[in-house]
Structure 1
Amino acid sequence: MKLSSVFAAVGGVVLAVAVSSCREVEKKTAPPPSVVVEEAAEFDFADSCTEVGTVAAFDSVDLVANVSGFLTEVNFKEGALVKKGEKLFQIDPAVYDAAVKKATADLRKAQADLKNAEIEYDRQKQLLRKDATAKRNYDLAEMNKMTAAADVLAAEAGLEQAKVNLSYTRVLAPFDGWISFKKYSAGNMVGPTSGVLATVVRNGDVKIYFSISETDMLRLLRSYPGADRNADKKGPEVEIDFQDGVRYEYPGRISAWNNAISDGTGTFRLQAVAKNPDRKLFPGMYVRVKIRVEPYSRQIMIRNEAIMREQLGNFVFVVNKDNKIERRKVTLGGKNGGYYAVREGLKKGERIVIAGLQKAQPGSIVTPIANKEQAPDGSATPVANAK
């Protein structure tokens, strides 16, 4: 073997060892992985629950025909605001007006018969005292008088019923409110079996019905002692959102509590009342109702991105003062937007990993980078529900 070949082989080995050593040095001197951290901060927060609610009119009346006849008038614009006492439908009154006249005549005849019976009774009574008539004639006169008096009462009742039926030919608005589309037009025959002619809902405040879980009901009662017995203007406030996510400008208040928990669903039904001056809430509309089930308190809030979940519970990665990763089990509370309240497991000011979680391992050293969205004082970006 030539000497040059030996030197070449030795040189190659030396070069390989040198490259390997350099890589080992680079590996040993590589900086720790970077993670984005955010300090655990406290905010005024109240846990809440959000449920689907149904809007209902404060009062709603189905207008029906209590007597039969042809509709002669429909005196409203569909969907318009009507006033209490306003005539909405007119049923042909001719038959019922005639019935009132006949009942009036029947009453007058009955009154005349009664007067005649009273005269005959008094005459028979005087004759009986003089033994100038038989007792049988007196008894008959007394019976005729009582029968005539009963006929007067029946005639009076008949006249009253006739007047009531005549009044039923005019269908009036029961209160100020909004009227629906009409079901019948003028010229149609209507009666007690015709169903609803139209519906009027009261103008003004509306009711919202919704249900909460038994657990939330208990928390609500603990937070607002006696609220179920004093559900008035001081009742717990609720926030209302439309289905498109837009917040309704007037919050409502719980005004009534049901008397039992539903056997089928295990939920508890509540009623809230909300102002509706601009008529943005319509009966039958679905809304989202948010109610605080506990009073405001200072609570640590962390981002949802920082939370890792497993069967044994929830945990986060905390960067300690030595920049080492600690795995920390946490007990979560309520949620607001992208944030969760932490009941146990964290202290104010501790640094929580919110990005780069795949680089973090318990016990490893990392390079923490403060979240750019943090406030100047180092606290986390305030959540929507913070005061």
Structure 2
Amino acid sequence: MRPNFLNRTLGLGGVMLVSLALSACGDDQQSSSQQGGGQQKPPVQAEVMDVKAHDVSLTKAYPAQVRSNREVTVMGRVDGVLEARHYREGSMVEKGDKLFTIEPAPYEATVEQNKADLQSAQAEAYRAQRDAERYARLYKQNSVSQQQRDQAQADLRTAQASVAQAKAALDSAQIDLGYTEVNAPVSGMISLSEVNVGNLVQAPEELATITPLDPIEVRFSLPADDAFALRRQRQQGDADVADVAVLTAPDTKSATHDAMQLKGRLDFLGSRVDESTSTVQAEAVFENADQVFLPGQFVRVSLPNVMRYDVYAVPAVAVTEGLKGPQVYVVNGEGKAEARFVSLGEVAGDWQIITEGLNPGDRVIVSGIGTVSAGDAIDAQAFTGKVPEPQNNAGENPSQEPDAQGGEGTQGAARDTKEATGQDGAN
């Protein structure tokens, strides 16, 4: 009985093993069939652009500090007690406005004394003139000697010199008297008084400072490459565009208001490169009619039209981050996607400048990057994306359409790809 039971058990087990083996074979065939179907993946539709050189305009921003090159220190130029201050501290004053009065009485007395000295010298000169004329007539009549005539002429010249000295002394005294009234040499905002009324002023002594606020000047340093580009634009007669500058105060930005800005022009571009920083000194001038910006304030200066000539640029969304760094997909001669590692330059709006890795005529895939893999067959479509053609206004106008998705380099490209496909776009 036991052998028969064992035989039946072994028979049932053999049948089950054979069934499992057949099932496994079926699964392997199904898996192989699925894999074979993956190799027959249909071509991926994607927009493709041909690589060619463009002139691209960049917006470059630099840290800067506001200055007022016409700031003036008002000085007391004569000694005396400060009798009066004629302005409100911190107010705007106009050129020629009376600011201070230093006691004028001693200087008025000096003027009167010098006037009297001048009158005395003039009287002496009159007497000497009459004597010289008389001795000249007598000499012709042989009534006086030549020595007497010459002495009379010398006395006349001495008297005339005394008149000149008296006039000079009077002029000096009148100038000092004029300095007792201190007027504004320029228009601008005046500071606190450095000397209180009633104190003794001893020349030269600082009394106040006047700072013109319209226009204002901003000095900054820009890289040598940017300075070279600006000079090239100027030489090509494009200075009106190249010299446009925008001043921004970042600290003034709020939830409901953009940062305050002023528009001006590049007024100075240095003639040498700083060897330690490889930068060039520059200065821009801005109209500050509302007098909001003040000297010493830290700001940012933007030059919205710095050109890069004959560069390769692709939409930033076409750039992804591969295992070895930034890459783009190009369509090779077989019509398949091929990863091409590239070196990145600057960003111009929605465009990424490529410095190495692309050649003229390369066909770069610029859409659906998240669905493309190396080796995929590509159904190439004409490039009709919303990213604008790189032109002179690329730096000013990143997108022609309000809803255009523009990236800033590889990070922006990865973000846009992820939003569009739910994938990170990296290999």
Match of 2:281 in 1: 269
Counterpart check, 1:252 vs 2:264: yes
Partner of 1:335: 347
Question: Residue 144 of structure 2: which of 133, 140, 157 is its match?
Answer: 133
Match of 2:225 in 1: 215
Report the Cα distance in structure 2 between the residues aligned to 1:342 and 1:219, rounded to whole angstroms: 18
Structure 1 residues 107 and 383: alpha-carbon distance in aligned structure 2, compared to 1, 3 A threshold: closer
Q: Structure 2 vs 1, CA of residues 303 and 57 (structure 1 numbering), >3 Å: closer, same or farther?
A: farther
The aligned counterpart of 2:97 is 86
- Which has the larger share of helix? 2
CA contact (8 A) 1:306 1:355 kept: no
Partner SS for 1:78: coil
Cα displacement string for residues 328-376 of structure 1 (whole angstroms, at most 9, x for unaligned residues): 13353432578633464696771467769xxx9754x699xxxxxxxxx
1:205 matched to which residue of 2? 215
Distance 1:17 1:38, change over 3 A: same
Judged with a 3 Å threshold, the aligned counterparts in structure 2 of structure 1 residues 45 and 192 are, in CA distance, closer, same or farther, namely same
Q: 1:144 to 1:383 in 2, by over 3 A?
A: closer
Question: Which of 97, 108, 111 in structure 1 is aligned with 2:119?
Answer: 108
1:265-314 alpha-carbon deviations (Å, 9 max, x no partner): 4322222222212222212222211212218999533049724596xx84
- After the TM superposition, which residues 6-45 of structure 1 pair with which residues of structure 2 at under 5 Å, given as runs? 11=16, 15=20, 22=27, 29=34
Letter of the structure 1 residue corresponding to residue 230 of structure 2: L
The answer to which structure, 1 or 2, has the higher relative contact order (CA under 8 A, 6+ apart) is 1
| Cα pair 2:100 2:181 within 8 Å, conserved | yes
* CA 335–56 in structure 1, closer or farther in 2 if over 3 Å, else same: same
| Secondary structure of the structure 2 residue equivalent to 1:217 | helix
Judge conservation of contact 1:204–1:277 (CA < 8 Å) in 2.
Answer: yes
State the match for 2:416 in structure 1.
none
> How has the CA–CA distance of structure 1 residues 52 and 340 changed in structure 2, closer, same or farther, with 3 Å as cutoff?
same
- The letter of the residue matching 2:106 is V
- For residue 128 of structure 1, report the CA deviation from its aligned partner: 2.4
Structure 1 Cα separation of the partners of residues 100 and 82 of structure 2:
7
Q: TM-score, normalised by structure 2?
A: 0.70
Map of 2:406 onto structure 1: none
What is the correspondence of 1:1-387 to structure 2 with a 5 Å cutoff? 2-3=6-7, 4=9, 11=16, 15=20, 22=27, 29=34, 46-57=57-68, 59-195=70-206, 197-225=207-235, 236-244=243-251, 246-291=258-303, 292-294=305-307, 299-303=313-317, 306-307=320-321, 314-317=326-329, 326-336=338-348, 340-342=352-354, 344=358, 350-351=365-366, 362-363=374-375, 378-379=385-386, 385-386=397-398
Residue range with higher mean Cα deviation, 6-15 or 214-223: 6-15
TM-score, normalising length: structure 1: 0.76
Question: Bigger shift: 1-10 or 50-59?
Answer: 1-10
Local SS of the residue matching 1:146? helix
Cα deviation 1:46-76 (Å, max 9, x = unaligned): 1243222222226221111111222111121
Q: Cα distance, 1:256 vs. partner?
A: 2.9
Distance 1:41 1:267 in 2: 36
Q: 1:8-43 CA distances to partner (integer Å, 9 max, x unpaired)?
A: 5985797599579858966984889xxxx9967899
Number of matched pairs:
368
Write the distance in 2 (CA, Å) between the matches of 1:189 and 1:225.
58
**The residue matched to 1:119 in structure 2 has which SS?**
helix
Distance 1:226 1:351, change over 3 A: closer
* C-alpha distance 327-123 of structure 1, shift in aligned 2 (>3 A): same
RMSD value over aligned CA atoms?
4.3
Which amino acid in 2 is paired with 1:237?
Answer: V
Deviations 1:178-199 (A, max 9, x none): 212222221222233433x222
Question: Is contact 1:39–1:348 with CA below 8 Å preserved after alignment?
Answer: no
Amino acid at match of 1:279: Q
- Write the deviation string for residues 96-136 of structure 1: whole angstroms up to 9, x where unpaired: 11111111111111111111111222222223223333333
Quickly say closer, same or farther: Cα 1:200–1:383, change in 2 above 3 A. closer
Q: Distance in 2 between matches of 1:355 and 1:188?
A: 79
Cα displacement (A) at 1:153: 0.8
Q: Which runs of 5+ in 2 are unaligned?
A: 40-44, 379-383, 389-393, 401-427
Contact 2:229 2:308 in 1 (8 A): no
Distance 1:142-1:340 versus aligned 2 partners, 3 A rule: same
**211-220 or 150-159: bigger deviation:** 211-220
Q: Distance in 1 between matches of 2:65 and 2:338?
A: 47
For 2:90 and 2:25, locate their aligned partners in 1 and report how far apart those are by CA, in whole Å.
87
SS in 2 for 1:250: strand
Counterpart-to-counterpart distance in 1, 2:277 and 2:103: 50
Distance in 1 between the 2:249 and 2:179 partners? 41
Residues 300, 348 of structure 1: 8 Å contact kept:
no
| Fraction of identical pairs, as percent | 27
Is the Cα–Cα contact under 8 Å of residues 103 and 159 in structure 1 kept in the other structure? yes
